[in-house]
Amino acid sequence: MNYLITGGSGFIPSYVVKGLLAEGHKVVNLDLYPDRWVYKNVLSEDERKEVTTVRGDITNFGLLLNTVKDHSIDKVIHMVACIWPTSQLDPILATQVNCVGTNYVFEAAKILGVKKVVWASSVAVFGPAEKYEGEYIGDDAPHYPGNVYAACKSYQEFMGNHYFNNFGVDNIGLRFTIVYGYGRDRGMSAFASEMIEKTALGEPYNLPYPTSAVISWEYVEDTARAIIMASKASKTKTRVFTTGGDYRRIEEGVSYIKKIMPEAQITFQDDPNAIYRHLSVAKPKKFDTRKIKEEIGYERQISMEEGIKRTMNEHRKRAGLSSI
């Protein structure tokens, strides 16, 4: 299959590219910044040589159309996004990239007959757990976006459904949770990766979040596998699925880090201005992932402990340190 991945040089997309190449697919990477360090570190030089790179902006509809046509693209994995904090500071850019750019992907798929579009949403579309009845939030639960990024993702979900119902564009959206792993360096949920990286390299880390809060530890290799599986799925009843991770308290992650690396220096400062200060201790936000298992066959494989250890060792290896 010929795949186009937009924003393919980013954190999650780099692992997706690696997985697609391992399966023997041809990959075209459309990215405004194709030389990002994470892409160069996750993929080997030989793997990068296999990828066709097109430098460009997702808001350039002509470039997008030509790329899909010229490379006979069968499937598109759309990962370009204007994330926090840029989306909050520049809502016009966020709207252009996240909303208009995604519409262009759906439109290109409609015009050129792309077989499947898989695109990235986020659990940010949902509001606080207290707004929902029951322990788990379902895929069809109402949205209560609390910031520009979340509002854009909610709009994308509407448009994905619109293009499917009105134009027959087969697309699947995936809502990611707190994705962590080697290479994560930005975004609202980067704190888990930052904590692991700092401690792996012997540096102190201050955690400004309520440590008793439960979060969904979603290891990046699981996320990449979910994306690739979704790209191969038949038409699904559900338009957007939440992927989900290992639901554990933040303090459990801290305890495990200190167990395998006793010298780790992690301090706590419950900052009232922290982005994730709204993490609920009384009622954790959990997501019902039964539909993605039933319709796509995806289940999380990597536990919090295994994901933390893999991430730490990857950082240590690249710094010339021994594995833990």
CA R_g for the chain = 19
| CATH code where residue 130 lies | 3.40.50.720
Q: Are 208 and 120 in a shared domain?
A: no
Residue 287 lies in a domain: no
As a whole number of angstroms, the distance between CA 173 and CA 107 comes to 16
Residue 289 lies in a domain: no
Q: Are 202 and 162 in a shared domain?
A: no
Q: Are 203 and 150 in a shared domain?
A: no
Residue 298 lies in a domain: no
Q: Are 234 and 250 in a shared domain?
A: no
Residue 170 lies in a domain: yes
Residue 103: predicted pLDDT: 98
Q: Label the pairing between strands 116-122 and 136-137.
A: unpaired
Q: Are 80 and 11 in a shared domain?
A: yes
Residue 286 lies in a domain: no
Q: Are 197 and 72 in a shared domain?
A: no
Q: Are 13 and 142 in a shared domain?
A: yes
Looking at the structure of the chain, the number of domains it has is 2
Angle (CA) 154-173-170 rounded to 5° is 120
Q: What is the amino acid identity at position 114?
A: V
Residue 293 lies in a domain: no
Q: Are 76 and 174 in a shared domain?
A: yes
Q: Are 135 and 200 in a shared domain?
A: no
Residue 123 lies in a domain: yes
Q: Are 145 and 189 in a shared domain?
A: no
Residue 277: predicted pLDDT: 47
Say whether pTM exceeds 0.85: yes
Q: Are 167 and 27 in a shared domain?
A: yes
Residue 91: predicted pLDDT: 96
Longest dimension (CA), the chain: 58
| CATH code where residue 185 lies | 3.90.25.10
Residue 212: predicted pLDDT: 82
- Its domain, for residue 207, covers 181-216+246-281+303-318
The beta strands (E) that lie in the chain are given as 2-6, 26-31, 52-55, 75-78, 116-122, 136-137, 171-176, 178-180, 205-207, 214-219, 240-242, 246-249, 266-268, 286-287
Along the 324 residues of the chain, how does pLDDT read in single tens digits?
Answer: 999 999 999 999 999 999 999 999 999 999 999 999 999 999 999 999 999 999 999 999 999 999 999 999 999 999 999 988 889 999 999 999 999 999 999 999 999 999 999 999 999 999 888 899 988 999 999 999 999 999 999 999 999 999 999 999 999 999 999 999 999 887 767 889 999 999 999 999 998 777 888 889 999 999 999 999 999 999 999 999 999 999 999 999 999 999 999 999 998 776 555 555 445 454 578 999 999 999 999 999 999 999 999 999 999 999 999 999
Q: Are 190 and 147 in a shared domain?
A: no
Give 29's strand partners.
5, 53
Residue 297 lies in a domain: no
Token pair of 85 as six digits: 């904090």
